[in-house]
Chains A and B, each alone.
Chain A
Amino acid sequence: MRGVSIVGAGITPFGVREESLVALGAIACRNALEDAGLGPERIGAFFLGNFAGQAFVGQNHIAPMVAHATGLGAVPCTRLEGACASGGLAMRQGVLAVASGQVDFALIAGVEKMTCAETDETASILAAAGDVAVEASVGSTFPALFGLIARRHMHEHGTTREEIAHVAVKNHAHGKLNPNAHIQKDVTLPQVMDARPVADPLGLFDCSLISDGAAAVVLCPSETASAHHEKPVEVLASAQASDSPALSDKRDITTFYATQKAGEEAFSQAGLSREDVDLAEIHDCFTMAEIIALEDLGFFARGEGGRGAVEGMTKLGGAMPVNTSGGLKSKGHPVGATGVAQIHELTLQLRGEAGARQVPGAEVGLAHNLGGSGATCAVHILGATA
C-alpha cells in the first residue's frame, strides 16, 4: 500500500441553500478540483457520501449525477451510506482506492440537502439511522436516544448538565470564526441550559443543526503530491469500525465501542499517541456525543470528557482544540457531507489556511465521524507536510 495525500479541498457554505442536492455536490467537487489544479478528466474514481437523498428530496442514485455535473465522464462512481458517517466512509474508500494503486486520483465528496423538510419529518428520516424495529417504532428520535445516553452518563460518571452545555458554547465560539458555518454567532451558557427541551436532559442548543451543504477533497499518492499542491496533507490513518445501532443491544450506553475500535486502529496505523494530536474534528451530533468521543478516543479518562470544554483544553488556544470549524453544532450537519467537511477543516488547518480560527503550528489532526447511535465510526488522522 502506498501513502495517500490530500491535494485539493472544496466546500459550499453550510446552511439553508437554494441549490439542488446534486448542484451542491458538484460545486464542492469543482472547488476541490480547482484547489488541486486538476481537470476532471484526471480523476480515476469518485466516492460520494449521502445519507438520505431519496427521503429528503426524492432522489437516489446521485453519485453518477454529481459526477456528470462535475464533468468526470465515465469514471466509477460509488455512493456510500453509513448514516451520519457516510462522508467518513467515502473518504476511507477513496484512500483505499489510491493506496492500493487502483487509481492515481480519487475525488471524494459528501452532500445532503435537508432544510426542505419539516422538522418532525426530518426527525423521522434521521430516526431511520437507528434500528427502526425497536427504536423509531416506540417513538424514539435521535435526540431521544442521546437524551437516554446523556442521562445515563450523568448518572454513572457524574457528568453535569453544565459540562454538557459548555460544548455548545465552545463550538459556537469557534463557528463564529468560520465564514462557511451555518450559524456564526455565540451562545451563552444560560441560553443553552434554559433552552426549550428537545429530549431531556438535552435542549435545543445541545442538538446539531439541520443544514444543506457539501464538501469534497482530492486524493493522490503522497510520492507525487507535491507536484499538485504546495502543501499536501498526508493521510496518516484511515480506520472504520461497527457496532449494533440499538441501545438495547449495548451493554454500556455511555460509550461507543465502534469509536474505541476505530480510534485504536487509527492510532496504531499512524504510529502516534494521543499527545501528538494538535486538533480534532469530533462528531458532535449532540453536545453529549463530543464528550463521549473524547473519552472513547482516549483523550480523556472515562467520565472526564466534560472537563475539555469547561477547563478550556478543547477550546481554541487550548492544548487540543476540538471542532475549530464550529462542529456539527455551529458549522452545521448536512448528514452525508459532515465526514468530508471534517477532512476539509483539518486540511485548511494543516496548511495554515484556517484564518481567524487557525491553530498555530498544527501538524497532526484527527477526524471522528459517527453514524447513528454509534453503529458506524470512521476515524482519520492527517498530517501536515514537514
Chain B
Amino acid sequence: METFVCAGCGRIYLEQSERCGHCGAEMEERPASGRGIVYSFSSVHMGARGMPTPYLLALVELEEGGRILARLADDDESEPSIGGKVIFSGLSDTGPVFRML
C-alpha cells in the first residue's frame, strides 16, 4: 500500500497528487503496510443518495499513524470491533476499502 502524506496538515491520501487537496502544501510519499485497526465504526442503514444500504464505515488508524475514513468490506463473516485489525484491500468508487482480519 502506498500513501501520500501532506507535509503541511498531515492528511493521508491513497492517490498521488502534487499538492494536498485540503491545504495546498506539498505531498510526501510514504510506504505503508496496509495494516491498521478500527478506531470506530458504524453500520449505515439510511445512507447518502444513490448508495445501496447497509454498508460499514470505519475510521481506520493506520499502523504508521494517522486515520482515514473508509469502507469496511461487508462480505465478511466477522463482526467489526473497535481495536479490531484490518488490512487495506483497494480503492473503490467510494474511496478506500479495508477488510477485517
Contacts and interface: CB of A to CB of B under 8 A. Distances in A.
A139 B49 contact: no
A199 B40 contact: no
Contact of B48 (A136, A148, A152, A201): A136
A328 to B, nearest CB: 17
Contacts of A202: 42
A147 B69 contact: no
Contacts, number: 109
Contacts of A140: 44, 48, 57, 69
Given A133-B21, A144-B57, A151 B42 contact: yes
Contact of B59 (A136, A201, A248): A248
Given A133-B22, A139-B57, A139-B71, A147 B94 contact: no
A197 B12 CA distance: 31
Contact of B45 (A136, A152, A199): A199
Interface stretch (A5-13, A38-46, A76-84, A121-129): A121-129
Interface residues of B, number: 32
Interface in A114-172: 119-121, 123-124, 127, 131, 133-141, 143-144, 147-149, 151-152, 155
Interface string A250-264: 000100000000000
Nearest to B50: A120
Interface string A181-203: 00000000000000011111110
Nearest to A122: B49
A144 B42 contact: yes
Contacts of A223: none
A147 B57 CA distance: 10
B68 A149 contact: no
Contact of A148 (B12, B42, B55): B42
A197 B71 CA distance: 18
B42 A249 contact: no
